[in-house]
Each structure stands twice: as C-alpha cells, then as structure tokens.
Amino acid sequence: MTEDANARIDEIVKGNEIVLFMKGSPLFPQCGFSSRAVAILQHLGAEFESVDVLQDQAIRQGIKAYSDWPTIPQLYVHGEFVGGSDIMMEMYESGELAELLQKDGAQAN
Amino acid sequence: MAMDAAEIETLIRTGIPGATVEITDLAGDGDHYAARVVSESFRGLPRVRQHQAVYAALGGRMGGALHALQLTTAVPE
C-alpha cells in the first residue's frame, strides 16, 4: 500500500462517524454484498458516508491492507473497523448493530 | 477462477485444526458459497478476528479466486 493511500483512508475513517467502503454508490451498488450492507444501514436509519472503491484503485487495494480484510464492503464506526457484510448482518440480527449506531447519534427506525 | 467446495473445506480445516466446516454452494455455479465454521479456537475472539482466521486459512484466495463467500463463524455450544 502506498503511504498516500493509507493516509487518505485514515483521514476518511477518522473523519466520519459512520463510513462504508463499497463497490458503487448507495443508490447504485455494484455488488450484492455492498447492496446488502447499504440496505442494513438504511434500514437502521443510519446516516453514513460512503466511498466507492471502484472509482479509486489505490483506495480499493489500500483498504484491504488497512484492516487486514480481503473483501469489500467494509464498515467503520468512529474510526473502528466493524466488519464486512456478513458481520453486519449478524450484528443487525442480534441488535448489536443498532446499538452501536445509536451510540453514534444515528436514529433507528 | 472458481474453487470447488471440497477445496475450500480442506483449506479451512487445515488452517483451523478441529474446526467444523459446512460449505453450501449457493448458486450452483462453483463461485458463490456460504461457509459456516465452528471452532473452539474462536472462543473469546471478536467476530472480525474469527473471520480473519478463516481468511488466513484461505491463504489470500478470498477476494481473488474466491469472490463470494458468505461467512458465519461460531464457537461450539
């Protein structure tokens, strides 16, 4: 990973309460896993920032090294890596995700 | 770039000795799988670490040869 990409990712992760690195945009997700991650966040009424990794190869590769996580989407809340779409789904089903996001000022439906 | 279910299962079992591994071929196309991995070694670990252990067992294939693996991890009841 280049230092530049790492620094940019770090700035995005630390500069946003809730940020999802995904393929495509929330309106037009380009992958089923990203689509599922967006659907979960929207269902919980979370306001989140998204980063389309398909628009930036350095971030697409860099984000995998950043959290030692091989796949996209990746969710970060308050600067902490939460997980990918499977972990988001498990945490959604158990209520943990709603709790985590509520702590960060988002409104649950 | 597809992998077969037996290969995935073998890699996970080798990387996480004693794990119970169930693989489901979701689409029947040899490219979209679900895996459930149950291991005592996961006890006390956050989910992210549990999933990372499975990805480590897959040795870099995740996100490459293996695009779509829905992963669930658990400790034995």
How far apart are the C-alpha atoms of A55 and A34, rounded to whole Å? 15
| pLDDT range class, residue A107, cuts 50, 70, 90 | very low
Q: What's the CATH code of the domain at A49?
A: 3.40.30.10
Write the pLDDT tens digit of every residue in A13-57: 999 999 999 999 999 999 999 999 999 999 999 999 999 999 999
Pairwise CB contact (< 8 Å): B48 & A33: no
Spell out which residues of chain B touch residue A66, defining contact as CB-CB under 8 Å.
none
In a domain, A108, yes or no: no
| pLDDT range class, residue A83, cuts 50, 70, 90 | very high
Write down the domain spans for chain B.
5-74
Q: Nearest-CA distance from A44 to chain B in Å?
A: 20
**CB-CB contact of B33 with B70 (8 Å):** yes
In a domain, A86, yes or no: yes
In a domain, A25, yes or no: yes
Query: Can you give the pTM of this predicted structure?
Result: 0.87
At the fourth CATH level, the homologous superfamily of domain B5-74 is BolA-like (3.30.300.90)
ipTM of the complex: 0.78
In a domain, A109, yes or no: no
Looking at residue A72, its pLDDT comes to 95
**CB-CB contact of A24 with A31 (8 Å):** yes
Pairwise CB contact (< 8 Å): B51 & A83: yes
Pairwise CB contact (< 8 Å): A69 & B60: no
Which of A60, A69, A71 to mutate to probe the B interface, most B CBs <10 Å?
A71
Domain that holds residue A22: 3-103
Q: Which residue of A has its CA nearest to B72?
A: A86
**CB-CB contact of B55 with B40 (8 Å):** no
Give residue A95's identity as a one-letter amino acid code: G
